[in-house]
Structure 1
Amino acid sequence: MNQHNGDQNNGDEHNGDGHDREAYESDASGADLERTFAALPPPCGRGFAETWWGRAWLKSLEDAALDSEQVRAGRRLARAGAVGAVSVRPGRITAVVQDRDRTTHRSDVLLQELSPAQWERFLDVAVEQAGHIAALLDRDMPPHLVEDSAAAGVELLPGMGDLEPDCDCGAWDHCGHTAALCYLVARLLDQDPFLLLLMRGRGERALLDDVQSRDAVPAGESAAPEGVDAAEAYAAGDTLPPLPALPLLPDAPGTPPALDTDAPPAPGVDPGALEFLTARTAVEAHRQLADALGAGHGRRPVEAELTMAQDAVRLAAGNPSGTVSDRLAEGSGRGREQLASAVSAWRFGGTEALSVLEEEWTVEGEVLARARAALDSAWDEDERPVLRATRNRWTVVGAGGQLRLGRDGRWWPYRKQSGRWVPAGRAAQDPGTALASMEHIAGEESS
């Protein structure tokens, strides 16, 4: 019936694609080259596959089966708990399936193993991006890893006709028994996508060892020397080699991978929001690196960690789409107009500008004396605007302008827009300069 029949019992010397079993027992002692799972309870009304890779597995079955009634029969058997313990090994999955008349059948489904050259290409793809490695270590099967592997000529997921049935009931195509086995394996794959890689010929331990060793030592390079004990390094003083040169600042932030894959997103995952977050993370990483490479960085105070509301404003400054913007407004505790004002303040001066927008505090004592002196000296007497003071805010009477004093002693310009005060420029040490910058901006907008 098919070329894989020789592996019908565990004592055979060959696996499904004709290679000696020793060819794939290079994984440690071979212990993780076969895994057996106890029979699962019926799924109680839920679907058989919840992950995208589990659904892809079932799609291969459903697209290839010539008799759709047999697929439906298999789904009924699987839902009734008729599939016994499942054995998964390279090239083959096996289980005993009980028919509706209580007769039992050994059922196998075969999947072609990857060749050594294909495994080498897969490992090359896996270590190209840190996200691929992190996903594998987290027992995840990211769509981009599967797509990048396919582009390199390595198909991880089965395609149409790749799941080859072999059942002792005598059927030459998928029968209800092999279909039931496939439905149950989809549930197992949901829990552990490494089973798919085991079917393709590589056990979990050996695969992760290979991935981690390649990530640690790139091709053509030797392993890095071990570090030096901190106490020894301090005692050695000037005898230690110089530190390596600082990295160069890239011209622009990196571009995160696109998530526009054919695979549907997992429940609760918004690809658009995720793409936006990764893009803003790249921008923030570039900003922090530029700051770290700047002169005097080591003497500056450490930036305080942003609150959730502040971070929502930072993200909103990246011009998200409508749905993401609504979620950020909600997360920041603001309405749309309030968020727009907060974003404007953030662009002028980050957390300091945001504090000036939202805080109102009483200016008194020495701080008040310095503020009045600054206002008196900012203009000649015949040019000084009429200012009405309310706590830390000085409103220009009849001109729609306002100066706000920050706690650091700098002045921030504001202007009235649709009945609300909105940020109008960057801070200045001199109130006259701050007010003039607002007028300059207003003049540019009107022109």
Structure 2
Amino acid sequence: MNREDDLPDTATGCHEGTTSRYDAATERTFAAQSPARGGSFARTWWGRAWLAALEEGALDNAQVRVGRRLARAGAVGAVSVRPGRVTAVVRDRDGTGQRADVLLTELSEGQWDRLLDLAVERSGDVAALLDGEMPPRLVEDAATAGIDLLPGLGELEASCGCGAWDHCGHTAALCYQVARLLDEDPFVLLLLRGRSPRAVLGDLQARGTAAAPPEPAAARPRRDGVDAAQAYAAARPPLPAPPELPGQPGLPPSLDAETPPAAGVDPTAVEFLAARTAEEAHRMLAEALGGGPHACGELTADLDAVRLAAGLADTPRAFRTAVGRRLATGSGRSREGLTSAVLAWRYGGAAALSVLEEEWAVEGEAWARARRALESAWEDGERPVLRARGNRWTVAGTSCQLRLDRDGRWWPYRKERGRWSPAGDAARDPATALAAAMSLGDGDGSGGEDTGAG
């Protein structure tokens, strides 16, 4: 692919392998690269951020996939990078070449001044750039100052000789190739934003010298420091308010790719696990911000199996059956046992699951509180006959039961198919909990929702 007719009409200079050169002005040219055999186009976080701007902002995902295949096949010629624009000739499978351009807004002079001031404040940021790394702190500080160094959603504009008005396979292929260049040298991004590497380094050197002029040793003040308690007690700006809880969990990335999965890897199962992980993260954030009844602390493998099974309801039946069976076996439960566990989890998470599976002796102060609650829950003559065993009170002559958890809450239960199953949410008042169980009528043998574990 490294041929002169592959070069964009704005490119100049020579090419050696995949190396780049610094142009005397503000342009760099990169030779065509060999086909990419498997793996990801972007290994670094800033390279992935570049591709995210393409993949999330393109209107036609099919064209993005075409571009990925073209780039992987080595169809992108020499790449010319200059402020605000990157250019290359991209060849279709029939050998036809199209000039593809991707445009990115340049930073203003004021934005460059603020960005360079931020970089020079930390010598480590400059060293990281010289080592081929993009410092995350520099990007974060720049964003706080209103400077978007990395491209955002829809910021990569496309222009192609094929006439497409949005990203086509040619411009998408060019973006994938640029991601490979960014992995090797983050200065490519700085050039796209308007400054050549030579100019950036010169400005940083000048600012560093101006900011820290040499000081005679005799004139340097003695720095003994201050007491740690005094430094901690010094006035500090208030922390920003925590972000609001999103209305729903985020969507995990799609695994739609032309590369076949490795042996033993089921993409559908991976997507399911990613979705459940997003839901669990959302639940944990909700607990952290406002508390709630489903807090479970650290998830054990047993608890996580039940949590995953609780998320199988909206999956295809064949998948639900296969995964449900594996979860039941892995958690040491039967099909019916996992079904009851899932029902308990949906009512109250780990706390409700503990009530389902653990029986404990109510003694001492816990017994006194339970007795007072039972005596005050009903008027005289209305209290049902309750037979106690451990933390479980069964209503004589019915299929209803009350169970007490260690926090003093009462959980309603009903007997279905010879097995006690959760029948509602917990309540502080045993009469309220029992009413929930009684409202379901006689046991109908439904046994709850099928998780497909059998």
**TM-score of the aligned structures, taking structure 1 as reference length:** 0.52
CA contact (8 A) 2:86 2:103 kept: yes
1:15 aligns with 2:15: yes
- How far did residue 424 of structure 1 move? 0.6
CA contact (8 A) 1:403 1:435 kept: yes
Deviations 1:202-229 (CA, angstroms, capped at 9, x unpaired): 3743159959x99xxxxxxxxxxxxxx9
Partners of 2:227 and 2:242 in 1: CA distance: 24
Q: Aligned residue for 2:350?
A: 351
The structure 1 residue matched to 2:265, chosen from 247, 265, 269, is 269
What amino acid is aligned across from residue 297 of structure 2 in structure 1?
A
Q: Aligned residue for 1:310?
A: 303
Deviations 1:414-438 (CA, angstroms, capped at 9, x unpaired): 0011111100111122222210122
Q: Aligned residue for 1:283?
A: 279
Q: How many residues are paired up?
A: 305
The structure 2 residue matched to 1:250, chosen from 230, 246, 251, is 246
CA contact (8 A) 1:360 1:391 kept: yes
Partners of 2:76 and 2:398 in 1: CA distance: 81
- How far did residue 232 of structure 1 move? 6.8
Partners of 1:153 and 1:305 in 2: CA distance: 47
Partners of 1:2 and 1:293 in 2: CA distance: 56
Partners of 1:231 and 1:308 in 2: CA distance: 47
Q: Aligned residue for 1:205?
A: 184
CA contact (8 A) 2:377 2:431 kept: yes
Q: Aligned residue for 1:404?
A: 403
Deviations 1:27-54 (CA, angstroms, capped at 9, x unpaired): 99x9x99999xxxxxxxxxxxx77698x
Secondary structure of 1:344 counterpart: helix
1:259 aligns with 2:243: no
- How far did residue 441 of structure 1 move? 4.6
Partners of 2:169 and 2:226 in 1: CA distance: 45
What amino acid is aligned across from residue 378 of structure 2 in structure 1?
W
Partners of 2:411 and 2:6 in 1: CA distance: 81
- How far did residue 326 of structure 1 move? 3.0
Partners of 2:185 and 2:437 in 1: CA distance: 65
CA contact (8 A) 2:102 2:171 kept: no
- How far did residue 378 of structure 1 move? 2.4
- How far did residue 345 of structure 1 move? 0.7
Greater shift, 411-420 or 374-383, is seen at 374-383
The 1:236–1:375 alpha-carbon spacing in structure 2 relative to 1, beyond 3 Å, is closer
Q: Aligned residue for 2:366?
A: 367
Partners of 1:247 and 1:407 in 2: CA distance: 33
Deviations 1:251-305 (CA, angstroms, capped at 9, x unpaired): 222222333344433333322222222222222333333333338x9xx9x9621
CA contact (8 A) 1:51 1:266 kept: no
- How far did residue 307 of structure 1 move? 0.9
Among all aligned residue pairs of Structure 1 and Structure 2, give the percentage whose two residues are the same amino acid: 47
The 1:404–1:315 alpha-carbon spacing in structure 2 relative to 1, beyond 3 Å, is same
Partners of 1:114 and 1:263 in 2: CA distance: 29
The 1:252–1:244 alpha-carbon spacing in structure 2 relative to 1, beyond 3 Å, is same
CA contact (8 A) 1:233 1:240 kept: no
CA contact (8 A) 2:409 2:426 kept: yes
CA contact (8 A) 1:27 1:33 kept: no
Partners of 2:104 and 2:267 in 1: CA distance: 26
The 1:115–1:317 alpha-carbon spacing in structure 2 relative to 1, beyond 3 Å, is same
The 1:358–1:27 alpha-carbon spacing in structure 2 relative to 1, beyond 3 Å, is farther
The 1:372–1:304 alpha-carbon spacing in structure 2 relative to 1, beyond 3 Å, is same
- How far did residue 349 of structure 1 move? 1.2
1:240 aligns with 2:225: no
Secondary structure of 2:15 counterpart: coil
What amino acid is aligned across from residue 267 of structure 1 in structure 2?
A
Partners of 1:398 and 1:427 in 2: CA distance: 23
1:388 aligns with 2:387: yes
Partners of 1:351 and 1:304 in 2: CA distance: 9
**TM-score of the aligned structures, taking structure 2 as reference length:** 0.51
Partners of 1:376 and 1:403 in 2: CA distance: 14
- How far did residue 360 of structure 1 move? 1.3
CA contact (8 A) 1:4 1:110 kept: no
Partners of 1:338 and 1:230 in 2: CA distance: 62
The 1:207–1:408 alpha-carbon spacing in structure 2 relative to 1, beyond 3 Å, is same
The 1:307–1:113 alpha-carbon spacing in structure 2 relative to 1, beyond 3 Å, is same
How large is the Cα RMSD of the aligned pairs?
5.5
CA contact (8 A) 1:392 1:404 kept: yes
What amino acid is aligned across from residue 335 of structure 1 in structure 2?
S
1:328 aligns with 2:327: yes
Partners of 1:274 and 1:284 in 2: CA distance: 15
- How far did residue 388 of structure 1 move? 2.1
Question: Where in structure 2 are there 5+ consecutive unaligned residues?
Answer: 8-12, 42-65, 88-100, 106-135, 137-155, 159-165, 194-224, 446-454
CA contact (8 A) 2:404 2:410 kept: yes
Partners of 1:16 and 1:158 in 2: CA distance: 22
CA contact (8 A) 2:16 2:31 kept: no
Partners of 1:343 and 1:201 in 2: CA distance: 46
CA contact (8 A) 1:346 1:353 kept: yes
What amino acid is aligned across from residue 282 of structure 1 in structure 2?
A
Question: Where in structure 1 are there 5+ consecutive unaligned residues?
Answer: 8-12, 37-48, 64-90, 92-108, 125-129, 131-147, 160-195, 215-228
CA contact (8 A) 1:27 1:205 kept: no
